[in-house]
């Protein structure tokens, strides 16, 4: 079996590929587990992960010809992670539409053209919810995105839903919580501060918290998200039914609770590197996002969240000892 991972050189893409390579096979229920012969990682740059079964293709997902060229006779499954993140999509409308919407449609059209049912896992986002929301968001809550990124992700969900309804693909969309703690440098995501206030102080670097400490967010660790993505990909179509989008489980955590977990893991010293300074652009987006979800459907389907936020911080320290320099 050949697999395609768009955004395969990114943080989540690399972790998903590592998980697939470690397993060496994939169960696409109801079919039996099938050996993974090769994986194509499609992105704007080559990733650091290297393996004989892994092949990188550098290109533009908005180019339909480049996307079509990714497919092989044995291509069976796709993890679609490629996207322009929230802050960048808001600042550059045309780029966000080109990558997040046009790129997604290019991928679905290319899969449709294979004339066989290819399984596609679409990475959506909780940013599809915004504005005047109920206290707790459920799977049947109507998405009301308030930013370009959330709107583009929701349009992608609807494309996946309709291509699946028409029998062109076997699609499923997962609304991923804010992933914390992301390693590496800060990116253009409006939610990036939720990782920054943990990662940067642990490395001995100062960081700005651009929102109030009471701000709550719906989060999940990289470990939990990768595990849930693999589960979503493997589930049989019958497990999804007609509704192919789901809210993934997570934790509701305030920034104050994040900082308390940081102190529990690393002591008081890193807290002195966190400075609160409001950023109106970030606040405009973050204040529209949902922070509390009822994920009963996902839990019933076998998805599982992190235990607590302190566990998330400890997992980051365990997975990235090279990133520690200030404790």
What is the longest distance spanned by two Cα atoms in the chain? 59
What tokens appear for 67 in the block?
């996307």
85 in Cβ contact with 187 (< 8 Å): yes
What are the Cα distances from residue 294, in Å, to 76, 210, 255, 261?
Answer: 32, 27, 21, 24
Q: How many CA atoms lie within 13 A of 200 on its CB side?
A: 19
Which residues touch 241 (CB under 8 Å, ≥6 apart)?
none
Q: Give the Cα-Cα-Cα angle 83, 190, 324 (nearest 5 degrees).
A: 95
Q: Is 149 a catalytic residue?
A: yes
Given 122, 149, 163, 316, which residue is catalytic? 149
Cα separation, 279 vs 284, whole angstroms: 9
Contact in structure between 258 and 309 (CB atoms under 8 Å): yes
Nearest to 133 by CA among 310, 298, 325, 289: 289
Q: In 10 A of CB 308, how many CB atoms?
A: 13
Q: Which residues lie across from 219 on neighbouring strands? A: 178, 251
Q: Say how far apart CA 321 and CA 316 lie, in whole Å.
A: 8
Say if residues 62 and 268 touch (Cβ distance below 8 Å). no
Do β-strands 170-176 and 119-125 pair in parallel, antiparallel, or remain unpaired?
parallel
Residues tagged active-site = 149
């Amino acid at each position: 079996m050949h697999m395609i991972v768009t955004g395969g050189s990114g943080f989540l893409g690399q972790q998903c590929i590592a998980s697939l390579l470690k397993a060496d096979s994939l169960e696409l229920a109801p079919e039996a587990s099938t050996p993974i012969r090769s994986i194509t990682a499609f992105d704007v740059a080559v990733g650091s992960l290297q393996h004989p079964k892994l092949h990188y293709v550098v290109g533009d997902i908005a180019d339909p010809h480049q996307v079509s060229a990714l497919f092989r006779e044995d291509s069976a499954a796709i993890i679609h992670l490629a996207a322009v993140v929230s802050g960048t999509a808001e600042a550059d409308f045309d780029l966000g539409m080109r990558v997040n919407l046009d790129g997604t449609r290019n991928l679905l059209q290319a899969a449709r053209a294979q004339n066989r049912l290819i399984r596609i896992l679409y990475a959506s986002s909780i940013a599809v919810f915004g504005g005047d929301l109920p206290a707790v968001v459920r799977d049947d809550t109507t998405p009301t995105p308030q930013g370009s990124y959330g709107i583009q992700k929701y349009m992608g969900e609807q494309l996946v839903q309709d291509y699946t309804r028409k029998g062109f693909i076997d699609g499923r969309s997962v609304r991923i919580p804010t992933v914390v703690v992301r390693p590496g440098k800060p990116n253009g995501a409006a939610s990036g501060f939720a990782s920054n206030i943990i990662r940067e102080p642990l490395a001995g670097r100062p960081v700005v918290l651009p929102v109030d400490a009471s701000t709550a967010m719906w989060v999940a660790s990289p470990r939990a998200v990768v595990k849930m993505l693999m589960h979503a990909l493997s589930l049989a179509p019958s497990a999804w039914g007609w509704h192919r989008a789901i809210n993934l489980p997570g934790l509701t955590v305030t920034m104050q609770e994040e900082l308390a977990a940081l102190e529990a893991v690393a002591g008081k010293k890193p807290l002195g590197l966190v400075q609160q300074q409001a950023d109106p652009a970030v606040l405009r987006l973050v204040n529209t996002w949902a922070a509390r979800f009822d994920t009963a459907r996902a839990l019933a389907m076998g998805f599982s969240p992190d235990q607590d936020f302190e566990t998330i911080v400890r997992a980051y320290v365990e997975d990235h000892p090279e990133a520690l320099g200030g404790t």
